[in-house]
Structure 1
Amino acid sequence: MESSETSVPKLEIATDPIPSSVQIKTETDRRKFLFNNQFMSDVIFLAGPDKQRIYGHKPILLSASDYFFQLFQNYTANELPVEDSDPNIFLELLRFLYYGKIELTAGNVREIYIESKKFSMEKILEAVENFLNQTIDSKNVLCKLMDNRFYEFKSIEQKCLRIICDDPFSYINQEDFTRLDRKSLGLIVTAKTICCSNDQLLGILDTWQKTNNEENVSDLRLDISSKSIVTWKKLLFFGAFSSNPISESLRFTVNKKFGVKITGIGLYYQPIDEIMKVHVFMTCHKTCVPIHVPIKIFVNQEYTF
């Protein structure tokens, strides 16, 4: 999980006027130089309990933020207290408003999220969501799902569930699984598409409750038992359309520790003759017994069998 105790590097606050020798060629250059600079500043933010001075420019801020647009209509003073905001975090928000850059790290992402919500900065919230999405992998997916109870980003929830539900038995013996909060557990065991049976889902629930015996999960048991939960995934294999001769064989392997139902194989091609025969051979890895399924494919038609 993200740690709020991770130290955040102190940001250097530059307040010197723009050097006269510097040539500013673009709008981005101008905004970079104006960022937290006394030059032409018409508002000073007093950030944190020490009231650290951070320089702003109303025209830039109100054009980039709904919050500041509303604020500056009624607030005419040159100094604006933001005592409950960390100066470093507040600077990161202003940096984004000035020229679209923000330094997101594991140590500051939660505070930036909180401040962005406070100041209604939707674009920064999108940047936080993208940053968190990029940090998810199969090793930390349980922690990321739990962390998302704080953020409640739908895309992160969906990504975590896809990874977990594709191979749930890789995760139930991990310590992080027993540390799952009840809501996260419920998302997993009631997922519409998960690669295990209902009985196996009840077993997963039992594993979690052994460590969390104070939790009542009777409603989750009822959901698992009564709802029609999809326990398989469609595997559709389509050959690409090509004028080149079709390969004599199309091979694929299903590598799962549990049963997978193959619901269809789609084929589309243009043969020379009006009618061609396609032979499908399916072999079970354990028994090596081939299953021969002959079918007919007609010209310019698509078939799923």
Structure 2
Amino acid sequence: MRTANELVDVVLVFGELRLACHKVILASSSYYFRRMFSGGLRESQSDEVAIKGIDAKTGKLLVKYLYSGKIDITEENAQNLLFASNMLLLDDLKAASEEFLCEHIQPSNCVSLLNLSHLYEIKDLVKRAQQFITDKWAEIS
């Protein structure tokens, strides 16, 4: 129904990308959207909502996830999905992104993942990144 623009009642804007959606689907999938559309906020009356801080590529993945519950987390999108899932209060996606990052620590990303883990208070990633850095110090430095 979304791709056919049937009964859509809101357009989410991610940068230049505009995606027609159903408020009820978004609200049932995310507490963030539930509060936005039912909490008396300006967006509850608007037919267009700009989602700032989330790029078009990530936005497209998120909308697909909100409708299907499925997403392909990759090294290219994991950090963006972590940020977006944290922002949109998507706990399952956040946990999946965290787990993916924990499993994909490399010399090229271990320091940035350690910083990211502190930012989002991801204890498991902190431990794994610190251990990786300790174990691979000669390779990293």
Give the structure-2-normalised TM-score.
0.78
Kindly indicate whether the alpha-carbon contact (under 8 Å) linking 1:37 and 1:55 is maintained by their aligned counterparts in 2: no
The yes-or-no answer on 1:38 pairing with 2:5 is: yes
Q: What is the alpha-carbon distance in structure 1 between the residues aligned to residue 3 and residue 48 of structure 2?
A: 14
Identity of aligned residues (%): 23
- The runs of 5 or more residues in structure 2 that have no matched partner are none
Larger helix share, 1 or 2: 2
The one of 125, 128, 134 aligned to 1:159: 128
Q: What is the alpha-carbon distance in structure 1 between the residues aligned to residue 57 and residue 137 of structure 2?
A: 40
Kindly indicate whether the alpha-carbon contact (under 8 Å) linking 1:89 and 1:112 is maintained by their aligned counterparts in 2: yes
Kindly indicate whether the alpha-carbon contact (under 8 Å) linking 1:44 and 1:56 is maintained by their aligned counterparts in 2: yes
Count of paired positions: 134
Kindly indicate whether the alpha-carbon contact (under 8 Å) linking 2:117 and 2:126 is maintained by their aligned counterparts in 1: no
C-alpha RMSD of matched pairs (Å)? 2.5
Q: What is the alpha-carbon distance in structure 1 between the residues aligned to residue 102 and residue 8 of structure 2?
A: 37
Shift of 1:103: 2.2
Q: What is the alpha-carbon distance in structure 2 between the residues aligned to residue 117 and residue 161 of structure 1?
A: 22
Deviations 1:186-211 (A, max 9, x none): xxxxxxxxxxxxxxxxxxxxxxxxxx
Kindly indicate whether the alpha-carbon contact (under 8 Å) linking 1:41 and 1:57 is maintained by their aligned counterparts in 2: yes
Shift of 1:69: 0.5
- Paired residues for 1:66-85 under 5 Å: 66-73=31-38, 74=40, 75-82=44-51, 84-85=53-54
Kindly indicate whether the alpha-carbon contact (under 8 Å) linking 2:26 and 2:33 is maintained by their aligned counterparts in 1: yes
Q: What is the alpha-carbon distance in structure 1 between the residues aligned to residue 93 and residue 54 of structure 2?
A: 16
- The runs of 5 or more residues in structure 1 that have no matched partner are 1-33, 179-305
Residue in structure 2 matched with residue 144 of structure 1 by the alignment: 110
Residue in structure 1 matched with residue 20 of structure 2 by the alignment: 55
Give 1 or 2 for the bigger CA radius of gyration: 1
Give the structure-1-normalised TM-score.
0.39
Kindly indicate whether the alpha-carbon contact (under 8 Å) linking 2:114 and 2:129 is maintained by their aligned counterparts in 1: no
Shift of 1:38: 0.6
